[in-house]
């Protein structure tokens, strides 16, 4: 029996994130939280968390730096993540999530921090050393992507496409670059799709016309609680699917849960994209109906 491929998730912009809980709070005043928790954020970390819950072997790749980076690594170890970090010169990005009864959940993010040249080179070297036939998921933003320091990683991804599967849930310059290559799957939201395609038309129309010029294998375009639009190959028709209706508590990470379940279903369970989404959408909706990420019942 052939072994299932190993899945690597690559987070380009890790987050050391604290969540503060308040009974209520008001802008412009000193606030005292009733509780505080710490977690590591970043799209690839979220995807790895859901993959682990599904029982899929995976390794989270990330860039860590400074005291915040050490705290992130300690958290990943304590939560039994399989991970590989590449140490960068600047400290890991900070973030704060504020929850209280009188305002919607609000997230404050520190400035994006580009990985150092040495860390990028180490990441590229690690990817080059992996066996053929594995899966790599590029997740989230990659600050500094277009600069020269990222050239080794861009070259490593080009070579990965020839010997494994590359799947993408990113945006901005990395998305524009990756969409010009024969990656297996691109999963983005509607705003990112319109930016990529340069079109304000409906997602269905955009996904019918524009991807014909791009070599991407499969497309999934989510739109929060609205229709998910997808295409299961260059010659397949554009289809839509409606997510389950839920009472939203926190949408954070729901797209990452969706992406993880789609990867799992497509490449480990050999499902069609429609079958993968039929499994993924209820789980992504359940995530949005609960606090935390991939922690719903």
CA distance readout (Å), 29 to 102, 109, 127: 14, 20, 48
- Residue in the block written with tokens 């998305």: 175
pLDDT at 26: 83
Q: What is the pLDDT of residue 211?
A: 66
Q: What is the residue extent of each domain of the chain?
A: 7-22+35-288
What is the residue-level pLDDT of the chain in tens, covering all 297 positions? Answer: 567 899 999 999 999 999 999 988 888 889 899 999 999 999 999 999 999 999 999 999 999 999 999 999 999 999 999 999 999 999 999 999 998 888 888 889 999 999 999 999 999 999 999 999 999 999 999 999 999 999 999 999 999 999 999 999 999 999 999 999 999 999 999 999 988 888 766 787 777 776 667 899 999 999 989 999 999 988 889 999 999 999 988 888 899 999 999 999 999 999 999 999 999 999 999 999 998 889 999
Give the model's pLDDT for residue 212: 66
Inter-CA distances, 174 with 7, 86, 143, 196, Å:
20, 19, 9, 11
Q: What class is the 7-22+35-288 domain?
A: alpha beta
pLDDT (0 to 100) of residue 159: 98
| pLDDT number for residue 200 | 64
Per-residue model confidence (pLDDT) at position 101: 81
pLDDT at 103 (0 to 100) = 83
Provide DSSP, 215-268.
--SEEEEEBTBS-EEEESSTTSPEEEEPPPP---S--TTHHHHHHHHHHIIIII
> Can you give the pTM of this predicted structure?
0.93
């Amino acid at each position: 029996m052939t072994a299932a491929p190993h899945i690597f998730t690559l987070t380009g912009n890790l987050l050391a994130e604290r969540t503060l809980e308040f009974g209520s709070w008001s802008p412009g005043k000193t606030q005292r939280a009733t509780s505080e928790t710490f977690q590591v954020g970043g799209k690839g970390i979220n995807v790895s968390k859901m993959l682990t819950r599904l029982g899929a072997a995976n390794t989270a790749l990330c860039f860590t730096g400074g005291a915040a980076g050490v705290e992130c690594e300690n958290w990943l170890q304590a939560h039994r993540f399989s991970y590989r970090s590449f140490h960068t010169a600047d400290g890991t990005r900070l973030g704060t999530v504020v929850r209280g009864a009188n305002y919607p959940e609000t997230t404050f993010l520190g400035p994006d921090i580009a990985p150092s040249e040495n860390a990028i080179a180490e990441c590229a070297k690690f990817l080059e050393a992996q066996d053929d036939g594995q899966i790599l998921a590029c997740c989230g933003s990659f600050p500094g992507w277009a600069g020269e320091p990222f050239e080794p990683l861009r070259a490593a991804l080009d070579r990965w496409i020839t010997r494994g599967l590359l799947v993408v849930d990113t945006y901005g310059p990395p998305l524009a670059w990756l969409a010009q290559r024969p990656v297996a799957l691109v999963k983005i939201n509607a705003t990112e799709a319109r930016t990529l395609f340069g079109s304000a038309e409906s997602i269905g129309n955009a996904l019918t016309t524009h991807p014909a010029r791009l070599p991407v294998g499969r497309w999934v375009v989510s739109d929060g609680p609205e229709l998910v639009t997808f295409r299961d190959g260059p010659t397949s028709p554009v289809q839509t699917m409606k997510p389950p209706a839920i009472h939203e508590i926190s949408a954070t990470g729901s797209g990452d849960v969706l992406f993880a379940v789609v990867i799992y279903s497509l490449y480990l369970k050999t499902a069609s994209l429609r079958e993968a989404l039929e499994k993924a959408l209820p789980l992504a909706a359940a995530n949005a109906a609960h606090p935390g990420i991939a922690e719903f019942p």
